[in-house]
Structure 1
Amino acid sequence: MSTIITREIQYTAPDGKNLVGFFAAPQSDTPVAAILVAPEWWGRNEYVIQRAKQLAEHGYAAFAIDMYGDKQTTEQASQANTWMMETFQQPNTIVERVTAALSTLAAQPEVDAARLGAIGFCFGGKVVLDLARSGADIKAVATFHGNLSTAAPAEKGKIKAEILVLHGELDSMVTLDNVESFKQEMQAAEVKHEVIILANAKHGFSNPLADVRAKANGVDLGYNAKAERAGLDAMYQLLARDLQPKPDFL
């Protein structure tokens, strides 16, 4: 396991919201590829911090971002939904906040700004897909049980990233019909993409606390260790494929 460095970084969204991200990176003499990590609707909690640390241990800089301000988190679905819906009230809030995070990540001295990617979980899946749809200069995007819907479908030639969607077969919050609509959106925009349907997996399959959250809130979530491993393996393959350094002579 490589030695990693971590720090919190404050940044500001165009709407004036004070955001606090968690940054992790391997100790390296040269700048490394970097991944923006967008959290579930619970906010910038310990789960997304651990995901950032894991990425750093795999050799990537990572930035667990704050979408609500002041690194707010909750374990109550009703509060999470309220905060999430606030980001939908203005059409540009999500893209502006995640773009501010991407710019902050790209500016860190440990980061090779030419090799950026983004991953997201649940609500964070929508966040990183909307970032890609906006034409951001990122090379790879992966979503885990992500919200795939959008009010602004991808335009042909605008998305620069290869997209990987990891979706639970038994997800009742994002249906297989939603997945099919997303595929059609990507095909129409001629985006390189892959959708992997993970067997016997519910919404939240990547989070070991999903069953606890489900019981406490009466929502249909479930952790699935096999689906989590398969999803992470596919994600790391994507990152290795799209973010590895290119030889100087090419």
Structure 2
Amino acid sequence: MSRFALLFALILTSGLAQAEIKTQEISYKGPDGTALVGYYAYDDAIAGKRPGVVVVHEWWGLNDYAKRRARDLAALGYSALAIDMYGEGKNTEHPADAQAFMQAALASAPAAKARFLAGLDLLKAQPQTDPDKLAAIGYCFGGKVVLDMARDGVPLAAVASFHGVLAATTAAKPGAVKAKVLVEHGERDTLVPMASVTTFKEEFDNAGADYRVVIQPKAKHSFTNPDADRLSHAGHGSEKGPDLGYSQVADENSWADMQALFKEVFGQ
């Protein structure tokens, strides 16, 4: 190999190493002692601390999709943690199980908040995280979780909900919402109908919140998840599954909206 070829190979290898996304599973506990599993991701080519983003999974649980979103955020330069709202990192592809997991997690609003805060504290404890620059994103069930955290005034700079459940456990009070809020909703979402969007807007208007709702044309529930079409038919035999569908256009556009929000609040 010539000296030039060797140098070129070293440059390429060095560049790849610098761009590596580091990931790890971190065991932690909820305030009630429940064993939880977080999936943490960051870019080791970035020096120093950076904004931290919590990722809250869909009703399926902490699956590969939620973990992928943590890696996507890490690639954008964030310190990202996909948290566990069900315990022991459990997940499913069966709608009945997912429904049961979600209902159990939401049975107590204080317990759900405490479990979110345990994940947020874990993210803040990572050496790559700037604890003064925090945000949260959530999908489906996770969208409700992060919106409820905004309603409760949890100190987050921004919150983004993707095809999230919009109904409030407790409606936001005037002045309570500190985060800038982004809601990405599918026009053809039959699981969270447009009437829920209207109610949400009324609630956040009354609360004086800084929010934006984006309706993604022709998109169904779970429009960001490439597995949505498969999952709409998985695990329920001859019964009709949930009305889900992936939309690449809505996925990409909603992700760009999130990036714009983060650039606004974090400057990156």
**TM bracket (short chain):** over 0.9
Q: After superposition, what is the alpha-carbon deviation per residue over 1:198-217, rounded to whole angstroms, capped at 9, x for unaligned?
A: 00100010000000011224
Equivalent residue, structure 2, for 1:7: 24
Q: How far is the alpha carbon of 1:15 from its aligned partner?
A: 2.0
Where in structure 1 are there 5+ consecutive unaligned residues? Answer: 246-250
Q: How far is the alpha carbon of 1:19 from its aligned partner?
A: 0.8
With normalisation by structure 2, the TM-score equals: 0.89
Equivalent residue, structure 2, for 1:223: 246
1:234 aligns with 2:257: yes
Equivalent residue, structure 2, for 1:248: none
Q: 1:99·1:131 contact (CA, 8 Å) conserved in 2?
A: no
Distance 1:61 1:14 in 2: 23
Q: 2:148·2:169 contact (CA, 8 Å) conserved in 1?
A: no
1:185 aligns with 2:208: no
Q: How far is the alpha carbon of 1:244 from its aligned partner?
A: 2.4
Equivalent residue, structure 1, for 2:118: 100
Q: What is the number of residues matched between the two proteins? A: 245
Q: State percent identity of aligned pairs.
A: 42
Higher Rg:
2
Query: Which AA in structure 2 matches 1:244?
Result: G
| 1:33 counterpart (30, 47, 51) | 51
Q: How far is the alpha carbon of 1:91 from its aligned partner?
A: 2.8
Q: After superposition, what is the alpha-carbon deviation per residue over 1:85-120, rounded to whole angstroms, capped at 9, x for unaligned?
A: 111222312111111111111111100011100000
Query: Which AA in structure 1 matches 2:219?
Result: A
SS of 1:220's equivalent in the other structure is coil
1:17 aligns with 2:34: yes
Q: 1:153·1:185 contact (CA, 8 Å) conserved in 2?
A: yes
With normalisation by structure 1, the TM-score equals: 0.95
Q: 1:117·1:243 contact (CA, 8 Å) conserved in 2?
A: no
1:200 aligns with 2:218: yes
Where in structure 2 are there 5+ consecutive unaligned residues? Answer: 1-15
| 1:42 counterpart (42, 50, 60) | 60
Query: Which AA in structure 2 matches 1:19?
Result: L
Q: How far is the alpha carbon of 1:65 from its aligned partner?
A: 0.7
Query: Which AA in structure 2 matches 1:231?
Result: S
Cα RMSD over matched residues?
A: 1.2
Distance 1:88 1:25 in 2: 29
Query: Which AA in structure 2 matches 1:242?
Result: V
Q: Find runs of 4+ consecutive structure 1 residues off by over 6 angstroms.
A: none
SS of 2:232's equivalent in the other structure is helix
